[in-house]
Chain A
Amino acid sequence: MTPPFILEIAFVILILAIAVGTLVARAAFTAVLLFMIYGLLIAIAWIRLSAVDVALTEAAIGGGLTGMLLLGAVARLRESEGSGEEPGLPTLLAAGTFCVLVSAALGTLVLSRPEVAPSLAPAVMDNLAQSALGNPVAAVLFVFRAFDTLLEKVVLLLALIGVWSLAPDRVWGGVPGLRLYAEPSSILVFLAQLLPPIGIMIGIYMFWTGASYPGGAFQGGTVLAAMWLLVMIARLQPVPAISLRCVRLLLVVGPVIFVAIGLLGFVFAGAFLAYPPDYAKPLIVIAEATLTLSIGVTLGLLVAGPPDRMQQP
């Protein structure tokens, strides 16, 4: 029972306690706050499991962006009246059965793991030198499984289109209904002028260091999205209408450049998304840079939500 082991047990109990607290919290706001704290502790858990890239993403998305999304939802729920019905017994039974089945499946998987975990990690580490990158996660994302990464970025765009489709027809192409700070506050304006330059620098740093150390396009893009949202909430920049050409251009520039590099792979290296040997690193950097930008804009618009008016207020 060494001290680190006791610490880990206490930590796991804390995580479970927060999860239970999220479920039993009376007010939706408290539940959302506990969920964000849960995200923070899970990020620490990921670090303990040596997955620093995942910890970065968890801290950024789980703590920051998802939290803001849920807080906005709670605020909207407060303002509108719900239908007021409680779910009936059949719905509750169905939901309960589903949860039990999922938990049982997960439990069986965890408890019956094979002696030696089947893993491609040794193969990745063996071939890491060929990929001209130092971070094995980046190598998997952009060299060994680049096609999956491309599809993920397209899925992100599809999710954004799904969010946009929630808008009523008459405001299609309008301004997203991002709730702004209720009245101009000079303190918030100061924060929104001070923080974004630092944040943008941190975002670019996260993307750049992802080649050799934990980080990457997604983490950098999340930071950029958070800074953009801050500037919009403080009313320093207007929320753009989704029909604006430059918005749509920024959204697609990342995936388009990635696809273009993939198609060039046919010409220069014989397969889709294959890189010519000497140009691997520059091509990956270009792809990641444009993806960072696109991911930032996409995540920002995802949190901003569907359009709900045509004109700027």
Chain B
Amino acid sequence: MANFLFGAAGFVLAMVALGLFCVLRGPSDTDRMLSAQLIGSGGVAVLLLVATVTENASIVDVALMLALLAVFAAVAFLRDASSAQIKPPNVADRA
């Protein structure tokens, strides 16, 4: 069971590596952000699997923290992307 769960964690990590490739490739910044979200979810899955294998419940806390901050990072990105849309960059505009 432990070996299987380790293997599953390794598989999800491989998916994370693939997601990294998406970050580098993604045609637009939004696509890169989507890949980052995928990597975040992958990270949560890996942490939950590791928590079960090592029987350490505090690792689930790390997964919770990661999920929370992943949302926060997404909002930070969206804030910048939305203001880039509304106000096209214009140096003269800055008060």
- Chain A residues within 8 Å of B, Cβ to Cβ: 3-4, 6-7, 10-11, 14, 17-18, 21, 25, 29-30, 33-34, 36-37, 40-41, 43-44, 47-48, 52, 55-56, 59-60, 63-65, 67-68, 71-72, 74-75, 78-81, 179-183, 185, 188, 191, 195, 199, 202, 206, 209, 213-215, 219, 223, 226, 229-230, 233-234
Contact = CB atoms under 8 A, between A and B. Distances in A.
B17 A43 contact: no
A52 B68 CA distance: 17
Contact of B82 (A59, A64, A182, A209): A182
Nearest to B95: A309
B79 A55 contact: no
Contacts of A213: 57-58, 61
A37 B20 contact: yes
Contact of A60 (B59, B69, B71, B76): B69
Nearest to B56: A52
A191 B70 CA distance: 13
A232 to B, nearest CB: 11
A106 B22 CA distance: 33
Given A7-B10, A47-B47, A72-B76, A40 B40 contact: yes
Given A52-B56, A64-B73, A233-B79, A202 B91 contact: no
B83 A75 contact: yes
B82 to A, nearest CB: 4
A43 B58 contact: no
B80 A215 contact: no
6 contacts: A6-B10, A21-B20, A71-B76, A74-B80, A206-B61, A230-B72
